[in-house]
């Protein structure tokens, strides 16, 4: 029997940026045993999506062409695989689509049950769609890499969040403030009041000399840095770190990998930790619950209908989003 078709956005080769995105019709996928089929209401883009198009993970990703990009989606469950226990048709959910299968920028997408979380009706799909990659990265950096207890019970720590106005950074500031922390943040001048409104105690403009040097205005040394910007050498971090200070680099370059190895080999107390997101459904549920409790919010930079996906793609490549860029269906 012929499969029903859905609208999707895909690209056929590496490179080409937003101009290479094609609007197509492809068959609606079917869920396997441990998967759910979701009808999308919203999706969000992350720099990862266009970096894959730029060959960042060649030859691993994309697994083949044509490729439907984007991992972060929210919508309604249409169908579940035989082994799925937690979800049923009609449930509102948010999920992380595996980049190894692709498929997020389409009317329907497949997500593993273990990478899906329930979404209460009072939280919009757009707000939830921002959470998977950016929210989970901020959470993993704070709770796993640094050991911040988000119930506020841990010892007090001074944290620096760089690029605090971006997708990951804006969640990182809010989550850090749930712990027992003093947060210094960097962003551009236009976003200083915005980042303060997220809870940051001190904010520095990254284009000033103190900002470029990552100096805390109050002279605090950082116990940990959630580094969401790029292109900052270890020599800039080093004088700003406390004795056991750690830099969690979420965009590790070859030079930061060298620093990581060197600091390990020399038993340095100051360390650089490269982070690669390992998404988990239970962590995603934790973030959705924080949103429901009013403790975390998604700030939306801009929304694009799926028919204008290339405009949102170009906006993300431009690198100046404040919060998350969302696609709506």
Ligand X SMILES: NC(=O)c1ccc[n+]([C@@H]2O[C@H](COP(=O)([O-])OP(=O)(O)OC[C@H]3O[C@@H](n4cnc5c(N)ncnc54)[C@H](OP(=O)(O)O)[C@@H]3O)[C@@H](O)[C@H]2O)c1
Residues that bind ligand X (CB under 6 A): 46-48, 51, 133-134, 137, 162-163, 165-169, 186-188, 191, 206, 228-230, 250-251, 275-277, 316, 319-322
CB of residue 324 vs ligand X: minimum separation in angstroms?
7
Considering the complex, state which of residue 10 and residue 316 has its C-beta at the smaller distance from ligand X.
316
Q: How far is CA 212 from CA 24, 83, 164, 273, in A?
A: 44, 52, 14, 21
CB of residue 30 vs ligand X: minimum separation in angstroms?
29
- Torsion, Cα 290 296 299 300, to 10 degrees, reads 0
Planar angle of CA 222, 224, 225, nearest 5 degrees: 95
Considering the complex, state which of residue 137 and residue 256 has its C-beta at the smaller distance from ligand X.
137
Considering the complex, state which of residue 124 and residue 251 has its C-beta at the smaller distance from ligand X.
251
Considering the complex, state which of residue 123 and residue 250 has its C-beta at the smaller distance from ligand X.
250
CB of residue 212 vs ligand X: minimum separation in angstroms?
8
From the number of C-beta atoms within 10 Å of its C-beta (0-12, 13-18, 19+), residue 64 rates as: exposed
CB of residue 262 vs ligand X: minimum separation in angstroms?
20
Long-range CB pairs of 258-264 (<8 Å, 24+ gap) are 259/234
CB of residue 207 vs ligand X: minimum separation in angstroms?
8
From the number of C-beta atoms within 10 Å of its C-beta (0-12, 13-18, 19+), residue 1 rates as: exposed
Q: Which of 44, 47, 322 is nearest to 197 (CA)?
A: 322
CB atoms within 10 A of CB 221: 13
Q: Which residues lie below 8 Å from residue 142, measured CB to CB, with a gap of 6+? A: 148, 150, 159, 172, 175, 176, 179, 226
Considering the complex, state which of residue 28 and residue 228 has its C-beta at the smaller distance from ligand X.
228
Pair of tokens at residue 191: 């976003």
CB of residue 153 vs ligand X: minimum separation in angstroms?
27
Considering the complex, state which of residue 11 and residue 206 has its C-beta at the smaller distance from ligand X.
206
Considering the complex, state which of residue 28 and residue 203 has its C-beta at the smaller distance from ligand X.
203
CB of residue 138 vs ligand X: minimum separation in angstroms?
9
């Amino acid at each position: 029997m012929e499969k029903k078709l859905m609208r999707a956005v895909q690209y056929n080769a590496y490179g080409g940026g937003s101009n290479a995105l094609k609007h197509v019709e492809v068959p609606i996928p079917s869920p396997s045993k441990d998967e759910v089929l979701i009808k999308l209401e919203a999706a969000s883009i992350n720099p990862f999506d266009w970096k894959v198009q730029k060959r960042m993970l060649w030859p691993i990703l994309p697994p083949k062409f044509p490729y439907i990009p984007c991992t972060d989606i929210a919508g309604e469950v249409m169908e579940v695989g035989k082994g799925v226990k937690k979800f049923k048709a009609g449930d509102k959910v948010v999920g992380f689509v595996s980049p190894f299968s692709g498929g997020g920028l389409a009317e329907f997408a497949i997500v593993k049950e273990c990478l899906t979380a329930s979404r209460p009706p009072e939280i919009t799909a757009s707000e939830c769609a921002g959470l998977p990659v950016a929210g989970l990265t901020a959470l993993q950096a704070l709770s796993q890499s640094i050991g911040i207890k988000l119930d506020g019970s841990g010892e007090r720590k001074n944290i620096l969040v760089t690029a605090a106005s971006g997708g990951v950074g804006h969640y990182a500031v809010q989550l850090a403030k749930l712990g027992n922390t003093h947060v210094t943040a960097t962003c551009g001048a236009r976003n200083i009041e915005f980042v303060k409104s997220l809870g940051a105690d001190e904010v520095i403009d990254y284009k000033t000399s103190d900002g470029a040097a990552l100096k805390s205005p109050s002279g605090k040394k950082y116990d940990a840095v959630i580094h969401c910007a790029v292109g900052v050498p270890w020599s800039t971090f080093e004088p700003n770190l406390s004795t056991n200070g750690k830099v969690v680099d979420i965009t590790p370059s070859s030079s930061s990998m060298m620093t990581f190895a060197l600091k390990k080999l020399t038993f340095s107390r100051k360390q650089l930790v490269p982070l690669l997101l390992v998404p988990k459904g239970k962590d995603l549920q934790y973030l959705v619950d924080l949103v429901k409790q009013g403790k975390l919010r998604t700030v939306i930079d801009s929304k694009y209908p799926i028919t204008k996906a290339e405009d949102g793609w170009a906006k993300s490549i431009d690198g100046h989003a404040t919060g998350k860029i969302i696609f709506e269906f």
